[in-house]
Amino acid sequence: MKNIYALLFMAIFTFASVTITTAQTKWNVDKSHSKVGFSVSHMVITDVEGNFKDFDATVTTTGEDFSTAKIDFTAKTASVYTENEKRDNHLRSDDFFNAEKYPTLTFKSKSLKKVSDNKYKLTGDLTMREVTKEVVLDVKFNGIVKDMSGNTRAGFKITGELNRMDYGLKFNALLGTGDAVVGNTVELDINIQLIQAK
């Protein structure tokens, strides 16, 4: 009988351990402390920076670190902002995002692989103008803290690049030198702060 109780106890303990280990944790983005930024070459000689004002993201993790993270991100293309109204309206047109026809861009993660103590490679599908392509981004994990209200927060910096032409952002005016007015390569510079859901 003692053996039966011992086995039963071990089974319950093992199940509880697995349940704790595999429990999912949800994180929500703190938009007031996050920025989805980008930059692109203008006439070869300077970079123009911009960001999306209206975005959202959720992250779900299993286990003790973020290597199991599942990430869903959405941005409203009409919220693109570069501190110049004329340029922003051009970006919303069919030359670029066509925000009226394609109001959102999305990213869904496939994997987040740890490459060092605080660095990861994030692979996922980025969709713009109904074109979906896999991208690989660099992620720096800046740590976890407790804020003054007891909330658990995590911070990340995400960088990478993509070719806008791959997604149908087709504006291709040229200078007299033959150089592009707007570069094809878009540099991503994203800072994300997450709050653990309660």
Tell me the fold of 24-196: Lipocalin (2.40.128)
**What is the value of pTM for the model shown?**
0.85
- Confirm if 58 and 74 have CB atoms less than 8 A apart: no
Q: What are the boundaries of each domain within the chain?
A: 24-196
Span 116-131, pLDDT tens digits: 989 999 999 999 999 9
What pLDDT does residue 3 have?
Answer: 57
Distance CA 92, CA 94 (A): 7
What pLDDT does residue 156 have?
Answer: 97
Task: Give the list of residues 6+ apart from residue 150 with CB closer than 8 angstroms, or none.
Answer: none
Span 29-64, pLDDT tens digits: 999 999 999 999 998 899 999 999 999 999 999 977
pLDDT score of 16 more than 90 = no
pLDDT score of 9 more than 60 = no
Span 76-134, pLDDT tens digits: 999 999 999 999 999 999 999 999 999 999 999 999 999 998 999 999 999 999 999 99
Average pLDDT, the chain: 89
Q: Which residue has the tokens 């199991």?
A: 68
